[in-house]
Amino acid sequence: MKLSLTPKYSAPSFPVFNVQALMKKIIWVLGILLTFNNAFAQKLERIEPMFWFTGMHNPKLQLLVHGDHIANTTVSLNYQGVKLLKVNKVENPNYLFLDLELSPTVKPGTFPINFSLQGKKILSYAYALKNRDKSTNRIQGVTTKDFIYLLMPDRFANGDKSNDVVKGLAETALNRDSMYYRHGGDIQGVMNHLDYLKDLGITTVWMTPELENDMPQASYHGYAVTDHYKIDPRYGTNELYKKYVETAHAKGMKIIKDIVHNHIGTGHWFYKDLPMKSWLNQWPKYTQTSYRDQTVMDPHASAADRKQMLDGWFVPSMPDLNQTNPYVQNYLTQNHIWWIEYAGIDGLRLDTYPYNDPAYMADWALKLQAEFPRLSVFGETLVSAAANQAFFTGGNTVNRGFDTHLQGITDAVLKDAIYEGLNGKNGWVDGINRLYATLAHDFLYKNPNANCIFLDNHDMSRFYSVVNEDFDKYKMGMAILLTMRGIPQMYYGTEILMKNFSNPDGLVRADFSGGWEGDKKDKFSANGRTEKENEAYNFVKTLANFRQTNAALQTGKLMQFVPQDDIYVYFRYNNSAKGSVMVVVNNTDKEKNLSTERFAERTSGITTAREVITGKTMPFKEIKVPAKTTWVLELN
């Protein structure tokens, strides 16, 4: 047989395959490989709250877990007293929400939360439970005994120049010549001047929000939060904030934290990767709130108008959170509880209260009260009438059908009435009569003494400018503020006659001179103030410190008398006339004679009175009240 070296080829014979089935199998294998590849490249971006506390009233805890395709994993944990009730998957596979239940007997400690894929552990987070702090000087609450000082940390004092500019943030400019850039003030700067505030008679400090605002423009004001669990690094750290609260407490002072339920900033990490579409109030096209609080209370209101008020965005850079979403509710409520317990905060100011979902806010208030019975809470309500303000406060169940459990509000209507009393022309319902009529509406509130009263703040023209830099009117207004019912609040710099109008807003947010190294004048020191500034400072200091020692001003009732001959008189009193405070307001350009016989029901047995500012004692039967004066008289 002859072997041929030339191969003979014939048409190849292949087995018959189902091409569609083969492609499915290839895709499946590639999918498995890709999943494992992603899994081992995965990392946990964050778990929030990052730790929690034992001994809380509510045993339930919901953890937000964020990481690349974390929803593909299986979650497990093993710690005595902690149950994993449910793993919630949502629209975005980068999120899981873990429902835990903590036993009342659970012990502090750390345990791993494991994330597995195909039975193999790929990620783990060491979750800590910490002992609840039950120190008696924590979370004291803010009461009518207090005097609140509102400040913007970026504009008050720079105590740490090393954090003026933080690389990697959207805004790195530092420009004190611009009202809209960062100026460098921080928490350390506030801590450095707590003694100044205490000496002035301040008992409570309220800063505008200190949380991270990683926004490209105007990030200094704090109301566009980008991380709910992180102090803005240009202000300091979480640890420094806690130290700030503890330092204030050690000095006998209290701390209010300013929080925002309604919105976030567009730089927020979860805005960039939303857990679900319903995390925000979404519209077919951008829709701004109408700012019409009346639509929430109007029995004749259109549903569309009410929706725009509640669900419209505050401004384009502040997305509106959907507070009807239970995941959003849990996130916000737990965040606020976490900060209070972590730092020992005494009270909360709630930004843009009327814009929040009413049912959620009522539930939120109950949950906070259950954990912190002494915590004080008041909501911002920049509205036009006492009825509008009272609508949002607790106890108003007849009108609302439910109780908001909101203790008090920022009393803008009383502020407007004081302005009218100082600047207006006296008439039946004008001038000083407006103040009397406004207080006559206190029957609308369950507790008007829980309202925060004020003359200005960071969103409006400064008080000294509103009274046209009339020093007499300035003193009249400050005397009313510090003797009126409610909890008085003063905006930073008012004690040294800082001025300006709010158009634009930045003008009323100027730096406190002396808070920066190299400032030409140090207004924290008497030597750095002008003669008139020192007179204003000492006027406030005298009244504020008198208020701290006078029980009638701290806890007493209010009785007012109908203005006559353009003079308005009210009393703060407890059980006896002695120690009562009589306030006499003469807003005219003429000296007035005042007979005290009309006030016998509050002055029985009183023969002399001490004028608090000068310390002079005077006969009580007939009083000559100087023009443009508010006299504060301690009855003897």
Pairing of strands 148-151, 204-207: parallel
The alpha carbons of the chain give a radius of gyration, in whole angstroms, of: 31
125: β partners: 113
| Structural contact between residues 350 and 359, judged by C-beta atoms closer than 8 angstroms | no
Alpha helices in 440-578 (DSSP H): 463-466, 471-481, 531-549, 551-555
| Structural contact between residues 458 and 208, judged by C-beta atoms closer than 8 angstroms | yes
Pairing of strands 487-491, 452-454: parallel
Residues 6+ apart with CB under 8 A from 362: 402, 403, 404, 405
Residue 412 to residues 72, 380, 381, Cα–Cα distance (Å) = 51, 9, 7
Pairing of strands 204-207, 452-454: unpaired
Q: What is the SS3 assignment for 246-280? A: HHHHHCCCEEEEEECCCECCCCCCCCCCCCCHHHE
* Dist. CA 506–CA 129, nearest whole Å: 43
154, 380, 420, 634: the catalytic one is: 380
Amino acid code (one letter) for 157: A
210, 351, 442, 634: the catalytic one is: 351
Residues 6+ apart with CB under 8 A from 490: 147, 148, 149, 150, 202, 454, 455, 481, 540
Residue 614 to residues 308, 593, 595, Cα–Cα distance (Å) = 54, 19, 21
DSSP per-residue codes, 123-136: EEEEEEEEPPP--T
**Short-list 532, 491, 530, CA closest to 509:** 491
Pairing of strands 629-635, 592-595: unpaired
Residue 259 to residues 176, 207, 228, 252, Cα–Cα distance (Å) = 26, 10, 10, 23
Pairing of strands 567-573, 581-586: antiparallel
326-343 and 238-250 helices, crossing angle to 10°: 50
| Structural contact between residues 477 and 463, judged by C-beta atoms closer than 8 angstroms | yes
- In the Cβ-directed half-sphere of 576, how many Cα atoms lie within 13 Å? 6
**Short-list 45, 108, 60, CA closest to 337:** 60
130: β partners: 53
* Dist. CA 635–CA 265, nearest whole Å: 52
Q: What are phi and psi of 126, to 5 degrees?
A: -85, 100
| Structural contact between residues 467 and 422, judged by C-beta atoms closer than 8 angstroms | yes
Is 199 one of the annotated active-site residues of the chain?
no
- Which contacts (CB < 8 Å, 24+ apart) does range 566-574 have? 566/426, 566/431, 566/432, 566/592, 567/432, 567/592, 567/594, 567/625, 568/421, 568/432, 568/433, 568/435, 568/436, 569/594, 569/599, 570/439, 571/599, 571/602, 572/483, 572/485, 573/602
* Dist. CA 520–CA 528, nearest whole Å: 9
Is 416 one of the annotated active-site residues of the chain?
no
Give catalytic residues, as residue numbers.
Answer: 351, 380
